[in-house]
Amino acid sequence: MADKDYILNISDRRPTGKYITPILKGLGYTLKNFFSKPITIKYPTERREVSDRWRGLHRLKVDDRGALKCVACGLCAKICPPKAITIVPYEEAGETRYPKEFVIDELRCIFCGFCQEACPKDAIELTKVYDFVDYKREDFIFDIEKLKTPEKYIFNGK
Amino acid sequence: MLEFMTILIIKTLVAFTVSLLIVAYSTWIERKVLGHVQLRHGPRRVGFHGLLQPIADGIKGFFKEELIPDNADKPLFLLAPIISIGAAVTLIVIVPFGDKITIMGHEITLYLTDLDVGILFVLGISTIGSYGGILGGWSSGNKYGVIGGLRGSAQMISYELSLALAVIAVVMVSGSLSLIDIVNSQTGLWNIVKQPFAFVLFIICGLAELNRTPFDMPEAEAELACGFNVEYSSMKFALFFMAEYCHMFVFAALVTTLFLGGWHGPFIDGPHWFFLKCFVIIFFCVWERSTFPRLRYDQVMSFGWKILLPFGLLNILLTGLWMLIFNM
C-alpha cells in the first residue's frame, strides 16, 4: 500500500477536467518562490563552509622561529601515489636537515592526504583552499614559497 | 510647420528610446525574475545587480561571428530578422503613453499618432512580424528551422483569430477603433470589469502570439533546438530576440490600453500609470513562463480552435445581447 503514494499509474495521469485551480496553484507556488530567499550563493564573494577534514592545497608549516618544520625525510614523496612531490634535501654537518627544494605538482596531486599522514614532524597539511585557478601549467607547480601561503591563491573572481 | 516638425522629431526620438530601453531591460527583468522563481540570484556581476547586463549582451551580440549556412537562401536569410524587428518596432508608433500635456506653451500629445484604425493596424503589423520567424526558419536550410517556422505560422493563424475576437468585444464596448478613444472611454470603469472574459482571452491569445511558454511552439528548445532561429548567430539572432521582447512590450501596452485603462488611474492620471501597468503585465509574462510547461502541439491547436474560438464568439454574442437589452 505504501508504494501507491509515489508510484503513479498511467490511468492516474488522464485529464481530470480540473484546469483552473491547478493553474492558479502553480502560479501561487512560483510567486511564493519569487519572494523567498535564493538557495544559491554569490560564489566568489560568498562561499560555503567546507568540512574541517577538507583536503585542498598543501601548506608547509613553519615553527615559532619561522623556519620550516620539514626535515626532508622524504616519507611524503615516498608514499605519494602519483609521485607529485619532489624533495631535494640539504644538510650541513651537525645541523638539522632541511629541504633545499620542496616542489608539489598540484596538477598531479590527487589530494589523498597520505603526505599529511606520513609526515613524522607534522610539517605538511592540506588546507581548505579548493578553488585555485591560473593560466599556465607551470603555475601549478608549487615551490616552498608558494606552499607556505596557500591562502593567497583563493579565487576572488578577478 | 517647423515647430510641428521639431516637436514630432523630438517626440519620436524620446518615444523610441524609452520603448527600446524598456525592451532591453525586460530581458533583464526576465532573467532576474526567472532566477528568483527558481531560487537563484540571476545576473548580478555586470553592474549593480546585473543592471548593465542588457548593454553587455548587446555589445557581445555585435562582436560575435556571423554565420550563414551553405544551403541557406541568402537574401531571405538576411531579410528575415529585418522584417521581424521592423514590424515589432513599427508597433511602438501607436502606443499611447499618456494624454496631452502642455510644455512651454506647446500642447504635446504623449503618443506618436492617433490612428482611426489603431487596433487594426496593430493586428496587421504584428502578423507581418511573424513572417520574419517563418521566413527565417524556412530560408536557413535546416529541418528544425522549417518545422519551427511552420508551427509558428499555424499557431499564428489559429490564435490571431481569437485575439481579434477578444479585441472586437472591447471595440463594441468602447465604440471606437482608435486606441486613444478606447483609453478615454474607460475613464470611470476599466474594461477589465466590463469585459473580464475578453481580458482572459486576450491574455491567452497574446501569449500565444508572443511565442511564449506554454505556447512556444516555434522555438521549442527541447524538441526543435530553438526552432526558427537555430541557424542565426550574432546580431541577427539578437534582432530576433529584440523583436520578441519588443512584441512583449507592445503586448503589455495593448493590455494596458484595452483593458486596464491606459494612463488613467487613481490620484493623478499620467504616463506613470501606463508604465506601472506595463511593468505588471511584463512581470506576469515572465511569471507565467516560469510556471507552465510547454503544451503539446496538438493540444495547442485543439485548445485554440475548439475552446478559445467558440468562447470568443460567445463572448461577442453575450456582449451584443447585453448592449441590446440595456441599450448602451
Give a three-class secondary structure readout of B102-169. Answer: EECCEEEECCCCCCCCHHHHHHHHHHHHHHHHHHHHHHCCCHHHHHHHHHHHHHHHHHHHHHHHHHHH
- The DSSP secondary structure of A58-108, one letter per residue, reads EEE-B-TTS-B------HHHHH-TT--EEEEEE--TTSPPEEEEEEEETTT
Does position A16 have pLDDT exceeding 80, yes or no? no
* pLDDT band per the 50, 70, 90 thresholds, residue A10: low
Domain ranges of chain B: 2-326
CATH 3.30.70.3270 assigned to domain A58-153? The reply is yes
CB contact under 8 A, A30 and B44: no
Give the pLDDT of residue B238: 87
Residue spans of alpha helices (H) in chain B:
2-37, 53-63, 74-90, 118-139, 143-174, 179-184, 191-194, 196-209, 221-224, 234-258, 271-291, 297-302, 309-326
Residues of A in contact with B38 (CB under 8 A): 33
Q: Alpha-carbon distance A107 to A84, whole Å?
A: 8
Kindly list the residues of chain A whose beta carbon comes within 8 Å of any beta carbon in chain B.
23, 26-27, 29-31, 33-34, 36-40, 42
**Which of A20-29, B218-227, B297-306 is predicted least confidently?**
B218-227
Q: Which long-range contacts (CB under 8 A, 24 or more apart) does B314-319 make?
A: B315/B165, B315/B166, B315/B169, B315/B195, B315/B197, B315/B198, B315/B201, B316/B165, B316/B168, B316/B169, B316/B172, B319/B169, B319/B172, B319/B173, B319/B195, B319/B198
Answer yes or no: do B38 and A33 touch at CB < 8 A: yes
Q: Is B100 helix (H, G, I), strand (E, B) or coil?
A: strand
List CB contacts of A89: < 8 A, sequence separation 6 or more.
A72, A74, A97, A98, A99, A100
Q: CB-based contact (8 Å) between B143 and chain A?
A: no
Cα separations (Å) of B268 from A60, B183, B257, B265?
71, 15, 17, 7
Residue B126: pLDDT band with limits 50, 70, 90: confident
Prediction ipTM score = 0.73
Pick the residue with more confidence: B328 or B311?
A: B311
Rounded to the nearest angstrom, the minimum Cα separation between A157 and chain B is: 10
DSSP-derived 3-state class of residue B101: strand
Rounded-to-integer distance, Cα B313 and Cα B137, Å: 33
Residue A39 to residue B288, Cβ atoms within 8 A: no
Nearest CB to A38; choose among B40, B288, B290: B40
A30 contacts B290? CB cut-off 8 A: yes
Mean pLDDT across the stretch B35-44?
A: 88
Identify the closest residue of chain A to B45 by CA–CA distance.
A42
Pairing of strands A98-105, A85-90: antiparallel
Does the pLDDT value for residue B225 go beyond 80? no
pLDDT at B314: 92
Q: Do A33 and B35 touch (CB under 8 A)?
A: no
Average pLDDT for residues B238-242, to the nearest whole number? Answer: 87
B130-179: pLDDT as tens digits? 888 888 888 888 888 888 888 888 888 888 888 889 898 888 888 888 88
B45 vs B284 pLDDT, higher one: B284
d(CA A107, CA A46): 26
Which DSSP letter does residue A50 get?
A: P
8 Å CB contact of A33 and B41: no
A31: chain B residues, CB-CB within 8 Å: 287
Would the pLDDT of A2 be above 80? no
**Domain extent listing, chain A:** 2-35, 58-153
Among A128, A113, A112, which residue's Cα sits nearest to residue A49?
A128
Measured in angstroms, the CA of A100 and the nearest CA of chain B are apart by 44
Q: Mean pLDDT, to the nearest integer, of B200-209? A: 89
Q: Is B306 on the interface with A (CB under 8 A)?
A: no
Q: Nearest Cβ partner of A30 from B40, B41, B287?
A: B287
What number of C-beta contacts closer than 8 Å exist between A and B? 34
In terms of Cα–Cα distance, which of B173, B168, B138 is closest to B152?
B138
Q: What cell does B279 get?
A: 511593468
Which triple of cell numbers denotes residue B29? 527583468
Q: Do A34 and B292 touch (CB under 8 A)?
A: no
Mean pLDDT of chain B: 84
Nearest to A42 among B41, B288, B290 (CB): B41
Nearest CA to B149 among B227, B71, B216, B88? B227
- DSSP classification of residue B270: S
Spatial distance between the Cα atoms of B39 and A79, rounded to a whole number of angstroms: 45
> Nearest CA of chain A to the CA of B154: how many Å?
25
A62 φ/ψ angles, rounded to the nearest 5 degrees: -115, 155
Helix (H) or strand (E) holding B261: none
Residues 96-135 of chain B whose Cβ lies under 8 A from any Cβ of chain A:
none
| Cell numbers at B113, concatenated | 499618432
Place of cell 511558454: B213
Query: How many other C-beta atoms can be found within 10 angstroms of the C-beta atom of residue B126?
Result: 23
Q: pTM for the complete prediction?
A: 0.81
**Averaged pLDDT for residues A110-135:** 87
Question: Does residue B278 carry a pLDDT above 80?
Answer: yes
Question: Residues with Cβ < 8 Å from A77, sequence gap 6 or more?
Answer: A83, A85, A86, A87
